[in-house]
Amino acid sequence: MRIEVVTIGDELLLGYTIDTNAAHLARQLAAIGVEIVRRTTCGDTAESIAAAVGEALDRSGAVITTGGLGPTSDDLTKPSIAALFGRAMVLDEEHLAWMRDRWATRFQRPMPEANVQQAMLPAGARKLVNHHGSAPGIWLEDERGRWVAMLPGVPREMRGMLADTLLPIVASRLGDARTVVRSRTLRTTGIGESAIADLVGSLSQGVGEVGLAYLPNADGTDLRLTVRDAGPGEADARLADGVARLRPLVGEWIYGEDGADLAEVVLSQCRARGITVGVAESCTGGLLGARLTAVPGSSDVVQGGVIAYAYEVKTSMLGVPAAMLEAHGAVSEPVARAMASGARASVGVDAALAITGIAGPGGGTEAKPVGTVWIALDLRGVVEARRYMMVGDRAEIRQRSAQAALEMLRRRLLADGRQAGTQ
Amino acid sequence: MRIEVVTIGDELLLGYTIDTNAAHLARQLAAIGVEIVRRTTCGDTAESIAAAVGEALDRSGAVITTGGLGPTSDDLTKPSIAALFGRAMVLDEEHLAWMRDRWATRFQRPMPEANVQQAMLPAGARKLVNHHGSAPGIWLEDERGRWVAMLPGVPREMRGMLADTLLPIVASRLGDARTVVRSRTLRTTGIGESAIADLVGSLSQGVGEVGLAYLPNADGTDLRLTVRDAGPGEADARLADGVARLRPLVGEWIYGEDGADLAEVVLSQCRARGITVGVAESCTGGLLGARLTAVPGSSDVVQGGVIAYAYEVKTSMLGVPAAMLEAHGAVSEPVARAMASGARASVGVDAALAITGIAGPGGGTEAKPVGTVWIALDLRGVVEARRYMMVGDRAEIRQRSAQAALEMLRRRLLADGRQAGTQ
C-alpha cells in the first residue's frame, strides 16, 4: 500500500516546531508494510489544507494527516477535508456528552464552549479513539475506497491513536500479499563515503534487489540497505544476503549495525577482557568521557579521567614534562603519548586514551591547522599514537576526535584478539 | 515572495532522519520576509524528485531543495531537475579542478573518481559556493523567472550555503513592501513552565500583538515572542516592547536570549572577573567539561577537571576521604562538597563545580531514587551544595545536571556582583 502524509500547521511551516510526527509515522507504517511515497507540510488555512490533501488524494488515494484537530479557531482540518468529500459537518452528540463528562470529572469545571467544535464531525465519518486527549481522530472514506485519516498534532496523542486505532485499521486492509519496507544499517568509521564506494565497487548500485545508501555523519559513514516491495520473510532474507555480501568487502571498518554506538561496542570488548578505561582530554574537554559514561552500566569499565585543558594541568595531573610541552607544543605526538601514559598511571587503569588537538575556530597555524588532532592509546604499557586531520567546525572536530579515539581502542583490541587467537 | 521547499531523501521519507533542515530554512527565510507556503518531502528516485519539484514549480515558481547533491549513485537531484528545465548535464572543469586540488592539498591523496559527479552541473546553472564541503549548490532559472535553488542535505553545509550565498540572492529579489515574521526568545532555567506562567500572569496570552509561547526542554523553559504580518521595523519595535514588559516579571530566571548558551554566559561572567574554572564530575562523566569547552575561546577560563566515576578516583585524585564515601555514599552532600574543594585544589582554579548523582536507569534506591543529584560549588573557599531531583531518562538527567551546575555558578556570580555593587 502506498500512502501520503500531510502534516498541518503554521508552526511546522514556519520552522518553530521540528516535525517529529512525520518520522514516527513513517517508521511505524513501514514496519507493517506501508510505504509513504510523499510527505507534504502545509499551513493552517482552509485553502492550503484542501489543496494539499486534495492533491495527495488524487495521487495516492490514501492520506494520513496530523494536526488541526484542536479547539482553537485555527484548527480547520476537519471542515476543509469534509468539503473535499462533499460532506457536511454535523454535531456528534455522543462525543459532546463524553467531553462534557470528562471536563466535569477530570477538571471539575464546565467544558469551555470552544471545545464544542471538537464534537463537530464530517457526516459519515468514523471516529478514531483518543486515549490521551479530547479530540477524536477521523476516518473519512468515499464510495471508491479513497480515504483520509486525520490524527491530532500533539505527538503523544498522535502516537497513541496511531498504535491503538489507526495501524490496526490500515493493517486489516493489507492483503496477504502485503509487502514491507525494511532496512539494516552497517555503521563504519574512519573511512570516507567515497573510499567505501571504492571498496564496495560494483555493489555500490545496490546489492541485488537491495538498495544501498551512504549516510555520512560526524561519527562515520553508515551504509543502509533497504528492501522494498517484498513480503516480510523475503525482505529479511534479502537483507541478510546483502549484509553477508557487503561485510567481507568493508570488513573491519564496520563497528556495528543499526543503532550501534561505538562507545557501547568498545565497552563490551573491554568488559569481556577485564580491561578498565580512563581518559585524558584536552581539546575534547570531557566529551570522550561523556560519551563513554552515556552508556548505562559503563561504571564497571570506565574509572574516570583528567580534563587537561591548560598546560599546567597536563603537567600537574598527567605528569607531562613542561620541557616537552615547550619543545613540541601541546598538540604533538610526544605530548599525546605522555598524556595517555600519565592518565593510565594517575587514574589507575589498564587502558587510557588521550586526545590533544586544535578544534578551532582560533589557534591554528600553518604547521598545525585547525583540525589537527593527536590521539594516543596506552594499553598496559604499549603506546600508540596517530595524527588526524579532522574536517568540520569546532563541534564536529571534537565529535570526530572522540569517535576516532574509541575506534583506536576498538582496533587495538581486535588486533590483540586476533594475535591471541593465532598463537 | 512565496516559495516552496522540497526536501529530498529516502532517509527523511522513511523516518530514519528527522528533517531539521526544513525548520532552519523556514526560520531564516521568514526573518528576511519570505514565506514558505508548502513543504514537500520525496524519495531518492528521479521520478519522485521530478514530480515533487515540478508540481512545486508550477504552483509557486520558486523552489528550494535540500539533499541529493553528494557523490554517490543515489544522488539524483541535479539531473532530475535539469530535465525539468530541459537542460543537459555538463562537466564544470573549473569545479573539477578545484575539487582535485582540494583532495591533493587537504587529504594528500587523489580524489576518488566517484566525486567527478559533483562537478556535473545543469547547463546554464549558477553555482552557489560551498565553504563546508565539495558539492556546490545550484541555482537554475528559466526565461520566465521561475527558479529552483538546490542546497546540500548535510545540515552544516546547507546552513553555510544558505547564509553565505542563497539568502543574499533571495533578499535582492524582494520588493520594499515586504512583511516579516520575527521572533525573540527569552531563555530561562531552574523554573517550570507553569511557575513562569504564574509570574507572567495576564501577559501569558500574549503581549499586545506579540504572541507568547512556552517551550520547555531539558535546559529549561524558553519563552518565545513572535510578531507576524508587520514591516521589519515595526516587528522589531513590537518585539522590543514585549521583551521590555516580560523581563521585569521573569527577572533573574532569564539567563539569555535567542541562541544563548548558559555555558557561554557563565564563561563571560568569569572572564570579566578573572575567575578560572574547573570541574569534578561523577554521573555526568565529562559532560559539564564538554559543555564549557564547546565554547570557542573557553581556554582562558576553563583549566580542566577530573572525571571521577569510580570511588577510587574520587579518593586518589580529589582527596575525598574513603571514610566519607563509606559513611554517606558517593551521592551525598559531604561528598559533593569534598569533590568541589578537591577539584579546586588539584586543578588549581578559583571556582570548581562538582556533580555526583544517580543518572539511572539502574542504581536507584528508595532513599536515593534515580534522578537524585548533588551539585556543589567551591568559589575561592566558599562552598555551597544543593540536592536536585531531576526528571527524565539517563541522558536528560545528565544534561539537566550540567545545566544546573552552570546555573549555580551564574547565580553565585550575580549575587556576589550585587553585593559588591551595594558595598
| DSSP H or E run through A289 | helix A287-293
A27–B37 C-beta distance less than 8 A:
no
B55–A55 C-beta distance less than 8 A:
yes
List of chain B residues whose C-beta atoms are within 8 Å of the C-beta of residue A259? none
Closest CA relative to residue B340, chosen from B385, B393, B370 = B385
* B60's grid cell: 509557486
List of chain A residues whose C-beta atoms are within 8 Å of the C-beta of residue B305? 286, 306-307
Q: Does residue A361 have a cis bond before it (omega within 30 degrees)?
A: yes
Closest CA relative to residue B383, chosen from B327, B322, B342, B323 = B342
- What's the total number of domains in chain A? 3
Write b or e for each residue in B85-99: b if 16 or more Cβ atoms lie within 10 A of its Cβ, otherwise e: bebeeeebeebbeeb
CATH number at residue B62: 3.40.980.10
Q: Within its chain, how far is the Cα of A351 from the centroid?
A: 30
CATH number at residue B373: 3.90.950.20
The average pLDDT across B128-146 equals 88
B contact test, residue of A53, A194, A227, A282 with most B CBs within 10 A? A194
pLDDT at position A351 = 98
A195–B115 C-beta distance less than 8 A:
no
Q: Residue A239: how many CA atoms within 13 Å on its side-chain side?
A: 23
Do residues A139 and A184 both lie within one domain? no
Place of cell 511546522: A12
Q: Are B270 and B240 in contact (CB under 8 A)?
A: no
A43–B40 C-beta distance less than 8 A:
no
Q: Predicted ipTM?
A: 0.82
Distance CA A248, CA A255 (A): 13
Q: Are B7 and B37 in contact (CB under 8 A)?
A: no
Distance CA B156, CA A393 (A): 9
The average pLDDT across B383-397 equals 94
Do residues B274 and B389 both lie within one domain? yes
pLDDT at position B51 = 96
Helices (H) and strands (E) in chain A, counts: 15, 17
B290–A286 C-beta distance less than 8 A:
yes
List of chain A residues whose C-beta atoms are within 8 Å of the C-beta of residue B52? 38
List of chain B residues whose C-beta atoms are within 8 Å of the C-beta of residue A213? 10-11, 44, 72, 74
Place of cell 541529493: B68
- Cα-flanking dihedrals φ and ψ of residue A85, to 5°? -90, 0
Do residues B372 and B388 both lie within one domain? yes
Do residues B163 and B124 both lie within one domain? yes
Residue type, B231: G
Do residues A24 and A54 both lie within one domain? yes
**Diameter over CA atoms, chain B:** 82
Do residues A275 and A379 both lie within one domain? yes
A299–B361 C-beta distance less than 8 A:
no
List of chain A residues whose C-beta atoms are within 8 Å of the C-beta of residue B30? 14-15
| DSSP H or E run through A401 | helix A394-422
Do residues A242 and A279 both lie within one domain? no
Q: Is residue A250 classed exposed, middle or buried when 0-12, 13-18 and 19+ CB atoms within 10 A define those classes? A: middle
A285–B289 C-beta distance less than 8 A:
yes
| Angle between helix A394-422 and A262-273 (nearest 10) | 30
Distance CA A45, CA B4 (A): 16
B40–A38 C-beta distance less than 8 A:
yes
Q: Does residue B361 have a cis bond before it (omega within 30 degrees)?
A: yes
* A314's grid cell: 597536563
List of chain B residues whose C-beta atoms are within 8 Å of the C-beta of residue A53? none
* Rounded to 5°, angle at Cα B309 from B303 and B310: 125
Domain boundary among A173, A196, A218: A173
Distance CA A246, CA A224 (A): 11
A19–B22 C-beta distance less than 8 A:
yes
Domain boundary among B120, B138, B172: B172
Distance CA B13, CA A417 (A): 41
Selecting from A193, A288, A396 the residue whose C-beta is nearest the C-beta of B286 gives A288
Closest CA relative to residue B27, chosen from B18, B39, B16, B17 = B39
- CA B214 to chain A, closest CA, distance in angstroms equals 12
pLDDT at position B177 = 58
Residue type, A347: V
Distance CA A389, CA A382 (A): 24
Place of cell 526542554: B217
Q: Are B41 and B23 in contact (CB under 8 A)?
A: no
* A341's grid cell: 601514559
- CA B4 to chain A, closest CA, distance in angstroms equals 10
Do residues B192 and B94 both lie within one domain? no
List of chain A residues whose C-beta atoms are within 8 Å of the C-beta of residue B74? 211-214
| Residue pairs between chains A and B whose CB atoms are closer than 8 Å | 279
The answer for residues whose C-beta is within 8 angstroms of residue A321's C-beta and 6 or more apart is A315, A338
Do residues B267 and B253 both lie within one domain? no
Q: Residue A376: how many CA atoms within 13 Å on its side-chain side?
A: 28
Selecting from B10, B48, B288 the residue whose C-beta is nearest the C-beta of A226 gives B10
Distance CA B374, CA A3 (A): 51
* Rounded to 5°, angle at Cα B230 from B226 and B231: 125
B317–A347 C-beta distance less than 8 A:
yes
- CA B316 to chain A, closest CA, distance in angstroms equals 8
Domain boundary among B257, B288, B305: B257
The average pLDDT across B297-308 equals 97
Do residues A148 and A190 both lie within one domain? no
List of chain B residues whose C-beta atoms are within 8 Å of the C-beta of residue A283? 293
Nearest CA in chain B to A281: B304
Tally Cβ neighbours within 10 Å of residue B2.
12
The answer for residues whose C-beta is within 8 angstroms of residue B381's C-beta and 6 or more apart is none
Distance CA B216, CA B209 (A): 23
Closest CA relative to residue B95, chosen from B64, B137, B67 = B137
Distance CA A33, CA A295 (A): 33
List of chain A residues whose C-beta atoms are within 8 Å of the C-beta of residue B48? 37-38
Q: Are A353 and A318 in contact (CB under 8 A)?
A: no
Distance CA A387, CA A409 (A): 15
Nearest CA in chain B to A10: B37
Highest mean pLDDT among A312-321, B87-96, B124-133: A312-321
Distance CA A203, CA A337 (A): 40
List of chain A residues whose C-beta atoms are within 8 Å of the C-beta of residue B281? 286, 289
List of chain A residues whose C-beta atoms are within 8 Å of the C-beta of residue B318? none
B contact test, residue of A4, A39, A301 with most B CBs within 10 A? A39
Nearest CA in chain A to B112: A194
- CA A165 to chain B, closest CA, distance in angstroms equals 21
What is chain A's pLDDT, residue by residue, as a tens digit (423 residues)? Answer: 789 999 998 888 888 888 889 989 998 898 788 889 999 999 888 999 999 999 999 999 999 999 988 766 557 899 999 999 999 999 999 989 988 888 888 778 888 777 788 888 999 999 998 887 777 899 999 999 999 999 998 888 899 999 999 999 998 888 665 777 788 999 999 998 888 988 988 776 666 688 888 888 889 999 989 887 788 889 899 999 999 999 999 999 999 998 899 999 999 999 999 999 999 999 999 999 999 999 999 999 999 999 999 999 999 999 999 999 999 999 999 999 999 999 999 999 999 999 999 999 999 999 999 999 999 999 999 999 999 999 989 999 999 999 999 999 999 999 998 887 765
The pairs formed by A420-423 with CB atoms below 8 angstroms and a separation of 24 or more are none
Question: Is B39's pLDDT higher than 80?
Answer: yes
Beta bridge partners of A139: A126, A149
Distance CA B74, CA B72 (A): 6
Do residues A211 and A282 both lie within one domain? no
Distance CA B288, CA A287 (A): 9
- Cα-flanking dihedrals φ and ψ of residue A140, to 5°? -125, 130
- Domain of A137 in residue numbering reads as 2-173
Tally Cβ neighbours within 10 Å of residue B104.
12
Beta bridge partners of A254: A188
Q: Does residue A112 have a cis bond before it (omega within 30 degrees)?
A: no
Nearest CA in chain A to B311: A303
Residue type, B289: G
A283–B286 C-beta distance less than 8 A:
no
- CA A380 to chain B, closest CA, distance in angstroms equals 18
Tens digits of per-residue pLDDT, B175-226?
Answer: 665 778 888 999 999 988 778 888 888 776 666 678 888 877 889 988 989 8
Place of cell 594528500: B108
Q: Are strands A180-188 and A89-91 parallel, antiparallel or unpaired?
A: unpaired
Selecting from A13, A288, A313 the residue whose C-beta is nearest the C-beta of B36 gives A13
pLDDT at position A419 = 83
* Rounded to 5°, angle at Cα A263 from A258 and A268: 90
- Cα-flanking dihedrals φ and ψ of residue B192, to 5°? -80, 165
What percent of chain B stands above pLDDT 90? 67
B312–A214 C-beta distance less than 8 A:
no
A287–B309 C-beta distance less than 8 A:
no
B24–A294 C-beta distance less than 8 A:
no
A contact test, residue of B39, B42, B73 with most A CBs within 10 A? B39
* A412's grid cell: 587495538
Residue type, B55: E
Beta bridge partners of A226: A183, A211
The answer for residues whose C-beta is within 8 angstroms of residue A7's C-beta and 6 or more apart is A19, A21, A22, A39, A40, A41, A42, A65, A66, A67, A153
The pairs formed by B267-270 with CB atoms below 8 angstroms and a separation of 24 or more are B267/B292, B267/B295, B267/B298, B267/B301, B267/B302, B269/B409, B269/B410, B269/B413, B269/B414, B270/B301, B270/B351, B270/B409, B270/B413
Write b or e for each residue in A127-143: b if 16 or more Cβ atoms lie within 10 A of its Cβ, otherwise e: ebebebbbbbbbbbeee
Do residues B9 and B42 both lie within one domain? yes
List of chain B residues whose C-beta atoms are within 8 Å of the C-beta of residue A37? 13, 42-43, 48
Question: Is B310's pLDDT higher than 90?
Answer: yes
Q: Is residue A92 classed exposed, middle or buried when 0-12, 13-18 and 19+ CB atoms within 10 A define those classes? A: middle
B312–A305 C-beta distance less than 8 A:
no
A183–B16 C-beta distance less than 8 A:
yes
